[in-house]
Chains A and B, each alone.
Chain A
Amino acid sequence: MEKVLEVKDLVVRYETDDGIVHAINGLSFSIDKERTLGLVGETGAGKTTAALSILNLVPDPPGVIAGGSIILDGKDVLSMGEKELERMRGNDVAMIFQDPMTALNPVIPVGQQIAESLEIHEGLSREEAMEKAKQMLEQVGISASRAYDYPHQLSGGMKQRVVIAIALACQPSLLIADEPTTALDVTIQAQVLSLMKGLIDNSHMSMLLITHDLGVVAEVCDDVAVMYAGRIVEIGSADDIFNHTLHPYTEGLFDSLPNLKARGEDLIPIKGLMPDPMHLPQGCSFHPRCPYATEACKTREPELKKAEGSHYVACIRYNESSFCLRRDKDAR
């Protein structure tokens, strides 16, 4: 299948006064045309940094993209010039940000903020762009008459719809949504998600959905990548990840969710905390928290290996023929 985006061995560091933060350490994944990939991980796993890297918008300084490649429609984003980047941003790849409260400019009417990308990329005049911006507002379920309102006059959910309208205005081939529903309350979350899903299916876009909410992933995503400490630990179709879990960390994520089939049972949290990205442990970065860890895990870094079809996993113990996660044992 045709690939819209291919990220290979991406390395991103933040060089701060206190030390070097290893945010992304050899990240590789790809998104096929008209597919939605969910990027899942805890806070601090490097999800947002990965998203910003795709637009080459990692704040510099202190951020440094130290290696790897990000191929978008056959071109490497990391070697694009400033002009090329400006043409790409918003036009080929658009981004929806985490917090709609701060993502909109408080002193510019929302219609104008949508119109701006149309003016930039489609060369429309101010009036034409505004007309189209109003259509976009209608598409995300906001009355066109509110185009002249300022962000502070809209509710949180409406603001996020405006952010979506901005992102979709120029019909990008890839949409990056960075926890688009985290800042919204639960009832609005469902609305916004189904709105996004509908718009994406209609316009044949691909999407990278960043989230820490596995429920959202199950609802929206075709493929899932699980990220830990700046690396992919497991990637595959949603079915692979949810029903044929291979990595201990993924299992830990599922165990910490309430299960309808086992009501009243205690949740099993993943013990410990995400390692400090300034001092990542040697070997597999998950080993200090992993119930299956062996001596080898402390020294050897696992590579992402093919398990079956499009299902890949990065775990040393997966190679042992007798190795089996507790989840699978229970299922048997």
Chain B
Amino acid sequence: MIPTLLVTSLLIFWAMDLAGGDPVNQILPENATYEQREILREQMGFNDPFMVRYFRYIGGILSGDMGKSYISGLDVFGTFMGRLHMTLLLGGSALIFACLISVPLGIYTALHQNTWKDTLATVLALFGVSMPNFWLGLMLILLFSLKLGWLPSGGTGGIQYLVLPAVTVGLSLAALLTRTTRSAMLDVIRQDYMTTAKAKGASYRRVIYNHGLRNAMIPIVTAVGMQFSYVMTGSALAETVFGWPGIGRLVVDSINKRDTPMVTGSIILCCVLMAIINLAVDIVYAFCDPRIKAQYSGRS
């Protein structure tokens, strides 16, 4: 995890450096003189070589200081954490929405493999995967906010503000999760223990849910975990379309303003978040599959 974070931070620091643009222009008023700008540059250490600046930054992080935003002057860590719960809320509800649709649909299509129902669901899922997030968001706003007036088009507040962004993000996740669930179930259906269960006289539902789904959980959990870290860190588009004050928008805004500490800090924190989610997924594995649990506890 540590090497990953080091490499990521170096890459992102370097990218921000290459991206050009001068934060001084953003901080000082437009009529500032050349001298004033140069003094500020010197003060903030912008004139130092790249590696010096990088290691100064890493040193800061190691002592618990992620720096302050050039623009707002606020602490990066505090700002990020202040936005985190909004993204968690959006990502979490999108994911729950996606699971509610895709797991039953995936099972259904697996059970009706190669029939027109399966094909229809496959086409819909393909459509879902290919549909750009922001476009879907705009279409939903057009329909539900402008035409029907049922839901607000953006902003935050009660649950009605959450519906459209969550559905937008959730639908594209659902498409992928459906495919994963389908293939996991197809694998499991052909296993011998499913025949054993049927031969015991277990009902169809019992065979599918008690015996099948529990075995198909591992690939599904993997996909959900990957999707969750994707939502947490990559929902910038949806957040921008719906004016949702989450991490994605924070990063996009900061990039536009050349707010290097904010961007670098946020992305490093996103990496930490991904690592935590992956760890959580690994722990969930152990609950899904006793064989993995046995590996962890050191006996077989």
Contacts and interface: CB of A to CB of B under 8 A. Distances in A.
B214 A108 contact: yes
Q: Shortest 10 CB-CB distances between A and B: which pairs?
A: A90-B201, A89-B201, A102-B192, A90-B200, A105-B193, A150-B290, A117-B200, A95-B199, A86-B201, A103-B192
Contacts of A94: 199-200
Nearest to A163: B196
Contact of A166 (B191, B200, B288, B289): B200
Nearest to A102: B192
A152 B289 CA distance: 11
Interface in A79-110: 82, 86-91, 94-95, 97, 99, 102-108
A296 interface: no
Contact of B300 (A55, A107, A153): A153
A33 interface: no
Interface in A102-148: 102-108, 116-117, 120-121
Given A57-B199, A91-B201, A152 B214 contact: no
A86 B205 CA distance: 12
Interface in B200-215: 200-204, 206, 210-211, 214-215
A87 to B, nearest CB: 7
Interface string B282-300: 0000001111001000001
B198 interface: yes
B27 interface: no
A82 B195 contact: no
B111 to A, nearest CB: 12
Nearest to A82: B204
B116 to A, nearest CB: 15
A90 B195 CA distance: 12
A116 B199 CA distance: 12
Q: What range describes how many residues of A lie at the interface?
A: 20 to 34
Contacts of B192: 97, 99, 102-103
B196 A166 contact: yes
B193 A103 contact: yes
A326 to B, nearest CB: 41
Given A102-B191, A102-B193, A89 B198 contact: yes
B197 interface: yes
A117 B201 contact: yes
19 contacts: A57-B199, A86-B201, A87-B201, A94-B199, A95-B196, A97-B192, A97-B196, A99-B192, A102-B191, A103-B193, A104-B193, A104-B196, A105-B196, A106-B193, A108-B211, A116-B200, A120-B203, A152-B290, A163-B196
A106 B206 CA distance: 16
A103 B204 CA distance: 18
A105 B288 CA distance: 13
Contacts of A117: 200-202
A88, A89, A121 — which one has the most chain B CB atoms within 10 A of its CB? Answer: A89
Given A52-B195, A104-B196, A120-B200, 17 more contacts: A89-B201, A90-B199, A90-B200, A95-B196, A102-B193, A105-B196, A105-B215, A107-B214, A107-B288, A107-B290, A116-B197, A116-B202, A117-B201, A152-B294, A152-B300, A153-B294, A163-B196
B199 A55 contact: yes
Contacts, number: 82
Contacts of A86: 201-203
Given A86-B201, A116-B200, A107 B289 contact: yes
Contacts of A52: 195
A153 B201 CA distance: 26
A122 to B, nearest CB: 11
Contacts of A104: 193, 196
Contacts of A107: 214-215, 288-290
Interface in B253-300: 288-291, 294, 300
Nearest to A105: B193
B196 A57 contact: no
Contacts of A95: 196, 199
Contacts of A166: 196, 200
A88 B196 CA distance: 14
Contacts of B195: 52, 57, 97, 103
A89 B290 CA distance: 28
Interface in B180-196: 191-193, 195-196
Contacts of B290: 106-107, 150, 152
A57 B198 contact: yes
Interface string A49-71: 00010010100000000000000
A324 B294 CA distance: 62
B212 to A, nearest CB: 9
A120 B203 CA distance: 9
Contact of A106 (B204, B210, B289): B289
Contact of B211 (A82, A99, A105): A105
Interface string A198-238: 00000000000000000000000000000000000000000
Contacts of B196: 95, 97, 103-105, 163, 166
B214 to A, nearest CB: 5
Contacts of A89: 198-201
A121 B193 CA distance: 19
Interface string B214-226: 1100000000000
Contacts of B294: 150, 152-153
B229 to A, nearest CB: 25
A236 to B, nearest CB: 29
A266 B192 CA distance: 39
A102 B294 CA distance: 19
Interface string B91-112: 0000000000000000000000
